[in-house]
Chains A and B, each alone.
Chain A
Amino acid sequence: MLRVPITSPLTELDRKKERAPVPKEWAYAPAPESRDVVSIKERYGHFVGGKWLEPSETYTTISPATEETLAEVGQATPEEVETAVAAAREAFENGWSGIAPAERAKYLFRIARTLQERAREFAVLESLNGGKPIKESRDVDLPLAAAHFFYYAGWADKLEYAFPNRRPRPIGVAGQIIPWNFPLLMLSWKIAPALAAGNTVVLKPAETTPLSALLFADVLRQAELPPGVVNIVTGDGRAGAALVKSEGVDKIAFTGSTEVGKAIQRELAGTGKKLTLELGGKAANIIFDDAALDQAVEGIVNGIYFNQGHVCCAGSRLLVQESIYEPVIEKLKRRLTTLRVGDPLDKNTDVGAINSKQQLDKIRELVEAGEEEGAEIYQPPCRLPEKGYWFAPTVFTNVAQSYRIAQEEIFGPVLSVLTFRTPEEAVEKANNTPYGLSAGVWTEKGSRILWMAERLRAGVVWANTFNRFDPTSPFGGYKESGFGREGGLHGLEPYIDFDGTEPFGG
């Protein structure tokens, strides 16, 4: 029988070797996503009628993480907006509304595919211009934007199935004004259903984040979309106001602040133009004592620190059942110490830059108000970069329902913590706001989830999760959070004209 020869593997050196001390600090090396993938032009015009229109006025757009100038872009004048509206009208009348729906669908499919192919390029640009972490633009904004086009592409030639017996027809020219928190994603939420329903579009991206929309114009070129079907004009609120006032626009879709939303609604009063508004929020995220706590804490973090809290549906009010207040706050604070704040292009960054100086000032003002009113502030130790606009993740405890930080939308990484004792009280506090966009509920009890979901006056209720989005899922608010839905079958409706086709009218 074969005997395995065994020789001693040990040398004298090995025998003496003690276990080496293990270093405890583990700093992750920088892991920046390459900027080379995207090339930014020095100067952009407005994208009108399939061509670049030389702007008469311009301003510079920057990276909020470094304050470096990225490009010069147009500040659309009312005349330039009218040119864009006229181009959209012409495209609508001369072709787009008459094109076979199946062909329209294929354009949208092309756009979706092109976005998928160029996803990394867009993700980097989005993070550069907006300050959001690359892991979010890469894993959330871009896949969802492409998915939105893909989803609505399929509807383009199936509208009769979406609205049986209603003879759906396009409205005409849609004026769309979008915010800076999810620039490309909001673009897709607006453009995809509008085109699927056969409308043409004039889109105005937010003042601080125009670049992904301008790059999107190149996707339209690759998709060979007929000229004028989508027009993009850039600029601040003046450009948006011109678009709202333009007589050639048949429908306005706006996502942004409640204040501006109200102004738009006033402006459109009596014009008969269709309007959808997706406005602010002050969502309650409600944690019951039987919730799966570690997952709930993740939900709290995702609810308010996702995209620096620049999310209209952010879970900015945490309502914790008193019996588990301490462990939840302890876990939350501990979790905050692991959040990595910094370079938006670093793949390990969890919290990026605040989108603009203006927004940073607003956050600071409200945080100061919170401290003055007597709330207790907690911020994890973190080093913020010197240049750029930054704000550390913040938790306020000892917050009363009457404090400004519990009432006003902060739109930043700032959480206000309140407590409750019973489900009734949780509902009452959650609904005690003029807003009604979203809410979160964390409990293991199925019947309570449905009971809560029924009573929360909000357009989206996330139960045992938070901040989930999907093209098939309608999104939009109650009360002062706006009206109309984006996403899903219901998201088509604001872009369709049914007038005069109902049996018995209607």
Chain B
Amino acid sequence: MARLPVKKTYKLFIGGAFPRSESGRTYEAEGQNVARASRKDVRDAVRAARSAFPKWAGMTAYNRGQVLYRIAEMIEARDSEFAELSTGLEEVERTVDRIVWYAGWADKLAQVLGSSNPVSGPYFNFTVPEPTGVVAVVAPDEPPLLGLVSRVLPALTGGNAVVAVAPEKHPLAAIELAEALATSDVPGGAVNLLTGHREELAPWLASHMDVNAIDVTGADDGGAAELERAAADNVKRVVRGGPDTQSPWEIASFLELKTVWHPVGQ
């Protein structure tokens, strides 16, 4: 008789831990019962992200790059599992390559995006990019893994803490990714993944006063406009990108620029 496999319970990823939804509810996706996050889970995830933000942002850029590279290693190591949960090995490989590409950006952003500014007067003046803070990501449904990673990585590479709403139709790769993140060196709370209904969760993130920016790529046109309107409550930065892009300017859209002046004198 064939052995009955042990099935996995698909949970949320908040603050480095894997809790069930506070609502106790699940929904069925890809043949599995997946945790259906509630607005209270959104609240907890934002709280976890906020408290992880200083640690992640405060790491040296070199270390951040290493941590990101480690994620790529962890995915590559379980590429067959990811392949099953996504569109296949090619998507996994592209995902790994994309993470490696972003990992290499971590310690180059200040040089590409910053400047020293020749002001008229005895002052030294320079501009440095800094993370915005807590970034909400509404991930696209397709491709399940690469789409999520393409939207999370720009914010993460810049030093932001992320709360992502996983692809509603294909959440399993996202949960698998959470497990890879949990076993990598990403500080708990720097990335939080919520599975559930996008239309239920995204508005709470868009209106949350402690979220600094929102990526609405996964929302449809009407939904995106709604989210953008709600985002105005605390002047969030709103980004709508593509599901399969990589660009330093995507990182830049989750960065602030800080300009520092200091007199030059004896």
Contact = CB atoms under 8 A, between A and B. Distances in A.
Q: Is B truly associated with A?
A: yes
Contacts of A473: 117, 119, 125, 127, 259, 261
A392 interface: no
Interface string B123-150: 1010100001100000000000000000
22 contacts: A265-B228, A265-B231, A266-B229, A269-B228, A270-B229, A279-B235, A459-B259, A460-B258, A461-B259, A468-B119, A468-B121, A470-B119, A470-B125, A474-B115, A474-B117, A474-B127, A474-B257, A481-B235, A488-B259, A490-B115, A506-B242, A506-B247
Contact of A258 (B235, B245, B256, B260): B235
B221 A461 contact: no
A138 to B, nearest CB: 16
Given A460-B259, A472-B118, A475-B259, 17 more contacts: A166-B249, A261-B235, A262-B233, A265-B231, A265-B235, A266-B229, A269-B232, A270-B229, A461-B258, A468-B119, A470-B119, A473-B125, A481-B235, A489-B115, A505-B244, A505-B245, A506-B249
A453 interface: yes
A40 B235 CA distance: 39
Contacts of A498: 249
Interface string A451-471: 001000111111111001010
Contact of A464 (B127, B235, B258, B262): B262
B26 to A, nearest CB: 32
B232 A262 contact: yes
A506 B117 contact: no
A112 to B, nearest CB: 14
Nearest to A263: B232
B263 interface: yes
Contacts of A279: 235
Interface in A29-51: none
Given A463-B262, A479-B212, A470 B117 contact: yes
A483 interface: yes
B241 interface: yes
Interface in B41-77: none
Contacts of A464: 262-263
Interface of A: 147, 166, 258, 261-263, 265-266, 268-270, 277, 279, 434, 449, 453, 457-465, 468, 470, 472-476, 478-483, 485, 488-490, 498, 502-506
Query: What's the dominant secondary structure at chain B's contact region?
Result: mixed
B225 interface: yes
Most chain A CB atoms below 10 A, which of B221, B229, B244, B262: B262
A464 B222 CA distance: 48
B266 interface: no
A191 B15 CA distance: 46
Contact of A270 (B118, B221, B241): B221
B228 A270 contact: yes
B119 A482 contact: no
A504 B234 CA distance: 31
Contacts, number: 128
B224 interface: yes
Given A262-B235, A265-B231, A474 B259 contact: yes
A473 B259 CA distance: 7
B215 interface: no
B224 A504 contact: no
B195 to A, nearest CB: 26
Counting from the closest, the 7 A-B pairs by CB-CB distance are A270-B225, A506-B247, A269-B228, A265-B232, A470-B119, A505-B245, A269-B229
A490 B245 contact: no
B246 interface: yes
Contacts of B123: 465, 468
A465 B234 contact: no
A459 B258 contact: yes
B9 interface: no
A453 B260 contact: yes
Given A464-B263, A502-B247, A458 B258 contact: yes
A465 to B, nearest CB: 5
B242 A453 contact: no
Contacts of B117: 470, 472-474, 488
Contacts of B260: 453, 460-463
A506 B258 CA distance: 23
Contacts of A262: 232-233, 235
Contacts of B197: none
Contact of A482 (B225, B235, B261): B235
A449 to B, nearest CB: 7
A503 B261 contact: no
A488 B234 contact: no
A480 B249 contact: no
Contacts of B226: 269-270
A352 to B, nearest CB: 24
B168 interface: no
Contacts of A461: 258-261
Nearest to B221: A270
Contacts of B242: 505-506
B237 interface: yes
B235 A490 contact: no
Contacts of B244: 504-505
Nearest to B237: A483
Contacts of A468: 119, 121, 123, 261
B225 A479 contact: no
Contacts of B125: 470, 472-473
A270 B245 contact: no
Contact of B250 (A480, A485, A506): A506
Contact of A506 (B120, B246, B259): B246
A473 B260 CA distance: 9
Most chain B CB atoms below 10 A, which of A279, A461, A473, A490: A473
Contacts of A266: 229, 232
B215 to A, nearest CB: 12
Most chain A CB atoms below 10 A, which of B117, B133, B231: B117
B245 A506 contact: yes
B247 A490 contact: no
A65 B171 CA distance: 65
Given A490-B127, A503-B247, A453 B235 contact: no
Nearest to A438: B259
Interface in B200-248: 212, 221-222, 224-226, 228-229, 231-235, 237, 241-242, 244-247
B143 to A, nearest CB: 14
A504 B119 contact: no
A480 B235 contact: yes
B107 to A, nearest CB: 16
Contacts of A505: 241-242, 244-245, 247
A434 B234 CA distance: 8
